[in-house]
Structure 1
Amino acid sequence: MVNLTESDDECLVLHPDVVFRAVGDEGVVVDQRRPEVMVVNHLALRVLQLIRETGSRAAVLATLESEYPVEPTIIAADMDRFLADLRGRGLI
């Protein structure tokens, strides 16, 4: 299990203008405020689904750790990179 940090209690909320859906093994994310579409892999799509379901970084991470047979530190690092990208785009 990954050591908990202050960011684990972070509340995550998708911007109301952000919609996403699965397309095959990938996902499509649309920011309705801009004319751009982001294609994401299955793990990023799962992160988006869990953000919408739980709103909690800790809950998203715990679920991913239970669903994917990958070292928890790798999952956390990948998720945090994706969250940083979402923040940078104003999607969360």
Structure 2
Amino acid sequence: MLVEPKFFRTDLLNAESTTYAELSIEDYASRTKETVTAWKGMNGKQGGDPAKLAAALVELTAQDEPPARFAAGADAVEAFEAKANTLRAQANAYREQSSSLFARP
């Protein structure tokens, strides 16, 4: 089972737990600064409860057929749905061309 968590209220975002790399690629500097600022602002405010995640994982792994992929947290479900919508739009945008690539027998 692949577990894809988003943000859980752990010590991960504490200054003592997280080190951010120095900005070395100018093209990414603005986006990196935004991300670091956002993550620092989330510290202690993450929505996920780690104890509930642990209980859910124990429950899921005890199933005869656990899910191949598990979105851990409401924010993870939103990310799954956004990705699925993007993939669906990409498939539909080129459906005719993609479908025309079959070899003839």
TM-score, normalised relative to structure 2: 0.23
- Higher RCO (CA-CA < 8 Å; seq separation 6+): 2
Structure having the higher strand fraction is 1
Between Structure 1 and Structure 2, whose CA radius of gyration is higher? 2
**What is the TM-score when the length of structure 1 is the normalising length?**
0.25
